[in-house]
Amino acid sequence: MRPALITLLLLLVATLVADSGRPEQDDGQWTMPGKDFAATRYSGLTQITPANAARLRPQWSFSTGVLGGHEGQPLVVNNTMYVVTPFPNVLYAFDLTREGYPLKWKYRPDVNPTSVGIACCDAINRGAFYADGRIVYNLLDGHTVAVDAATGRELWKTQIADLGQGETTPMAPFVVKGKVIVGPSGGEFGIHGWVKALELATGRLAWTAYSEGPDADVLAHPATFRPFYDRGTDLALTSWPADAWQRAGVPVWGWLSYDPDLDLLYYGTGNAAPYNPEQRPGDNKWASSVLARRPEDGSLVWAYQFTPHENWDFDANAEMILADVTVKGRRRRVLVHFDKNGFAYTIDRATGEVLVAAPFTAVTWAQRIDLATGRPVVDTAKLTGASRGNIKDICPSLEGGKSPVSAASYSPRTGLFYVSTNNLCMDYQATQVTRIAGTPYIGASTPYHAGPGGHMGAFIAWDASVGRRVWEIREPYPVWSGSVVTAGDVVFYGTLDGWFKAADARSGRVLWKFKVGSGVVGCPITYTGPDGRQYVAVYAGIGGDWLLLSGDVRSDDPADVRPRADFAPDLARHTSQGGIVWVFGLP
């Protein structure tokens, strides 16, 4: 049997496994955060529908005992639910076959507490990946661990990052072809961004590919690297001044996807450092880009930069959802990406050609994306820099038109993508900065304000074939959760003020909501329990940027009484910190 066909069959098995906790439907392969290698977060389960969703009720809850931002999602494999907490990154395994879902085991890793002070935006964790009997996840302090899924025994632990340089590792790893793909946070510390592959069996380093620098470091080989819009060699070196690329940020901390037919791994890169763009003239490749690599050796096949010489902290770490979409009458294999810069992109995933690009939220920094060149047509009045003073009313803010944390979902039934969005704008005043290893390397003041209409967020349905919003549910605050959509035509998401909601995937009508006690910044999942019933699970636990912005939402430290952000002065009236795992089902 051909290797590509074997991979395709295993991908199909993985898709079935992610919908079920029953052991007879799990052959010991994969269960992953994005539901499948295409990162669709689509479930084939149908028991919960628009007709009965209003009957959903809590079935179980569990306090993690941790206050940090609960990003990521649980995993359900073999009638076991696995939960990873923010720092100190405890891994829980719950037995779904017994009343009350008792704890089977708990793995408490040794994590360097220094990492908490280095992490940019709260000591969060984005989840684990199940592969070949192992639960694999990252610790905040720059280590990846593999734990026996049945016993909780540590199988290996590998250091991948350097805290001394400002590198931390909250991302969810991604496993493909026996490789564990990992990357760091630290764009705000001026790290030298990278992605690494570890051997799943042993944890040994297989390859390292840098985001910027010489072709040899980026693994951009002349014989195989074919970007659609760019030509030449050492593009990730010559687009930076002097040695600026060595402290340029460009981290890899978001979600990944994989096409087994093309044998391409896709991921986005983060912001360029520092925030003052006058210190790094040039396009600054491959900051704020999507990269397509071969997972076995890391070789770069194509890359596309969403925001050349990015001036506004527009990371591109958000998910790359793989789908087949009809564009201008032709069926195309695409990846769909909702960027922090406010544009939604439909891109040919074999070549990197941009087929559709349209704003999905308020955008003032650019007029449009030129499909012939792939480049944004920038409003020069919105360019930033220390010499330009305070630039007003840039939309979206550096929180993004969509946070990369908030993973979107896609339904092949409706053909729509379901996206948590922000309606925030900012003023931006850059300053000159000097890098000191392990300390912030930013250089900007960026106060926010609500965008057009006054609401600060919306949950939307998007048609990627033409670049059009189909419906929206407006929210008073930015929407920071991920989503999951089902074959029952129900889509689930959460809000910063602590509501977990179900909506009709076709019309956007809100069907049900439940107050979960803390803001939702994680991603919901749905699964079949041992009793054959469909359940929905989600984390509650506000954090991430919103720990810093919402004011006094932490009560265990009398000295931690932070001022509220001017643009959202009352958010703390509706939420407080506290990690809870919720499970909902029909009565």
User: b/e string for 433-457 if b means 16 or more Cβ within 10 A?
Assistant: bebeebebbbbbebebbbbeeeebb
Q: Count Cβ neighbours within 10 Å for each residue of 155-178 and write b for 16 or more, e otherwise.
A: bbebebbbbebbbbbbbbbbbbbe
Pairwise CA distance, residues 117 & 34, whole Å:
29
Residue carrying the six token digits 């979409």: 325
Place of tokens 């920038």: 378
Residue 229: both structure tokens together? 């819009």
Task: Give the separation between CA 536 and CA 19, rounded to whole angstroms.
Answer: 11
Which of the 8 DSSP states describes residue 192?
A: B
Is 188 known to be catalytic? yes
Closest among 345, 362, 522 to 448, alpha carbons compared: 362
How far apart, in whole angstroms, are the C-alpha atoms of residue 381 and residue 151?
Answer: 59
199 part of the active site:
no
Where on the phi/psi map is residue 442: left (φ > 0), alpha (ψ -120 to 50), or beta?
Answer: alpha
**Given 19, 36, 188, 310, which residue is catalytic?**
188
Q: What is the DSSP letter of 385?
A: -
The residue from 271, 276, 284, 317 that is catalytic is 271
3-state secondary structure of 540: strand
Q: How far apart are CA 382 and CA 312, in angstroms?
A: 9
H or E element at residue 12: helix 3-18
Q: How many angstroms separate the Cα of 183 from the Cα of each of 91, 168, 515?
A: 20, 9, 34
HSE, side-chain direction, 13 A CA sphere, residue 338: 31
- Give which of 367, 470, 532 is closest to 22, Cα–Cα: 532
Query: Up-side HSE of residue 461: CA atoms within 13 Å toward CB?
Result: 22
- CA Rg value for the chain: 22
Q: Which of 313, 319, 339, 475 is catalytic?
A: 313
Active site residue 313: yes
Please identify every residue annotated as catalytic. 188, 271, 313
